[in-house]
Amino acid sequence: MPQGPRAARRPRAQDQHPRPKRRPSTEVLRIESLAAGGAGVAHLADHAAVFVPGTAPGEEIEAEVDRNTRPARGKLLRVIAPSPERVEATCCGGGCDWMHLSVRAQEAAHAEIVRSAVAHAIGAEPPPVRVHAAPEPLAYRTRARLYARGERGRVRVGYRAVGSHALAPVSSCAVLAPSLAAALGELPEVLAGSSGEGDVQVALGAGGRLVVDVTWRGELAPSAWAAIDRRITEGAWAGARVRMEGAKTPAVFGDPRPVLEGADGAPLVVAAGSFAQSSDRGAALLARRVAELARVEVDAPREGADVPANGHVLELFAGSGTLSILLARGAASLVAVESDEAAARSARENLSARDLAGKVVVADADAHPIPPRAEVVVLDPPRAGAEGATAAIAASRVHRIVYVACDPATLARDLGVLVRANYALTHLETVELFPQTSHVETVARLVRRRGAR
């Protein structure tokens, strides 16, 4: 009888003699830097690294250190000598893991995280990281993913606490735009009587009114369905979409699509439940910079030049077209690839509302061939990066690449492949799209080296 891999596995030494658990110890530590993920990094007397959330570089702290994980984890007990970059945190306990840091320190730490990841991956020092400051460091979120939980008829709404599935209930949030803040007070009332838990995305839709996208696991009270319906029919909300766990299709009320202000100042529709950056102004800043870097002229600017031609552009992971609406301008052609059908429909709608030509293809961007005439590839993949697309670009004759990334580690991995395939990294820039958090958006530009295949 064939044996499965489990049966075939030889017992390992640690199975027979599991290491005894070590007791946490209290240590005085000096924080050296901030790691991707947000924690401060220090070293113990035996040089083992320890990660302590809620700390700032340069400060002396006391922490309870658990050496049973690798790297060791520390829990901040007290700050002995604070960093000058430490500020009073006003965080609600939700996702803002860097609210105790000055904006200047956040920017510097983001830039260093990106620089060191890329330097390690390409085996050389990258160009100096240019930092694009956030348009608004607070009250910037024009879209938010909330978390709701119903128990004994009462529904509490907040965020998932950092690093856990626990609910951090919130009545006010310093990073939420005032236009969305009202939702925090309204949702517990709308969802009252429901049991279970759900994710609730809130944004602004048509006419600047609220749109709500609910994914619920459990029972949604009949009064909740009625309250949602009433808000749409009375015009208080533009739309809502409710997806019950296990249901094939969501219930749709009104028009649940978020509408943001595009980088060209005109409205841009986003498919309900599909990707959109967390702030309109941040998304516009990013899109404008990506479009600039995609142009031929970045290397040799011409005085007084009009919008220069982009050549034939291939955009991978295009979403609802936040970048496409700028890339299509001045391009000889634009092909945008996106796997989410609803997002692709929105991208088509956004291009045609502007009379822009562009072909939007529903396909796997990571397995999409690079058309031989493509001169520029712009890609904006999810956190996992784009291993397949990177390999295809590396084997192509594309001249310029603009890579937008929300994860420095996978960006660095993919840039390593492109640099080894004879592309030169000309620009490395961070865009502060998520102030008060350790998340960072990066834009990298590469050009094919002269004489390369």
Which residues does the annotation mark as catalytic?
406
* Contact of 240 with 198, CB cutoff 8 Å: no
Does residue 97 interact with ligand SAM by CB under 6 A?
Answer: no
Interface region with ligand SAM, contact rule CB under 6 A, candidates 215-223, 359-367, 417-425, 438-446 = 359-367
Interface region with ligand SAM, contact rule CB under 6 A, candidates 22-30, 166-174, 253-261, 312-320 = 312-320
Distance CA 258, CA 204 (A): 5
Does residue 275 interact with ligand SAM by CB under 6 A?
Answer: yes
Distance CA 447, CA 346 (A): 31
- 362-393 CB burial, b ≥16 within 10 A, e <16: eeebbebebeeebbbbbbbbeeebbeebbebb
Does residue 59 interact with ligand SAM by CB under 6 A?
Answer: no
Longest CA span, the chain: 77
Strand ranges across the sheet with 72-81: 25-30, 60-66, 72-81, 49-52, 40-43, 33-34
Q: Is residue 380 part of an annotated ligand binding site?
A: yes
Give Cα 81 distance to the centre of its chain.
Answer: 33
Among 63, 91, 259, 323, the residue binding ligand SAM under the rule CB under 6 A is 323
Among 59, 85, 340, 414, the residue binding ligand SAM under the rule CB under 6 A is 340
Distance CA 197, CA 149 (A): 4
Does residue 382 interact with ligand SAM by CB under 6 A?
Answer: yes
Among 97, 107, 255, 338, the residue binding ligand SAM under the rule CB under 6 A is 338
Q: Is residue 338 part of an annotated ligand binding site?
A: yes
User: Closest CB to ligand SAM among 110 and 149?
Assistant: 110
Relative orientation angle of helices 178-191 and 222-233, to the nearest 10 degrees: 140
Between the CA of residue 246 and those of 147, 218, 302, what are the distances in Å?
19, 10, 57
Min separation Cβ 17 and ligand SAM, Å: 44
Interface region with ligand SAM, contact rule CB under 6 A, candidates 42-50, 148-156, 261-269, 358-366 = 358-366
Size (the chain), residues? 453
Does residue 345 interact with ligand SAM by CB under 6 A?
Answer: no
Does residue 272 interact with ligand SAM by CB under 6 A?
Answer: no
Does residue 322 interact with ligand SAM by CB under 6 A?
Answer: yes
User: Closest CB to ligand SAM among 103 and 362?
Assistant: 362
**Residue carrying structure tokens 């890579």:** 403
Q: Is residue 317 part of an annotated ligand binding site?
A: yes
Does residue 364 interact with ligand SAM by CB under 6 A?
Answer: yes
| Pairing mode, strands 25-30 and 60-66 | antiparallel
Interface region with ligand SAM, contact rule CB under 6 A, candidates 77-85, 228-236, 363-371, 429-437 = 363-371
Min separation Cβ 289 and ligand SAM, Å: 12
- Tell me phi and psi for residue 74, to 5 degrees: -120, 150
CB burial of residue 256 (10 Å; 0-12, 13-18, 19+): buried
Min separation Cβ 19 and ligand SAM, Å: 40
Which residues neighbour 83 within 8 Å (Cβ) at sequence distance 6 or greater? 31, 56, 57, 58, 59, 105
Does residue 339 interact with ligand SAM by CB under 6 A?
Answer: yes
What is the binding site for ligand SAM (CB under 6 A)? Answer: 274-277, 317-320, 322-323, 337-340, 343, 364-366, 380-382
Which residues does the annotation place in the binding site for S-adenosyl-L-methionine? 277, 317, 338, 380
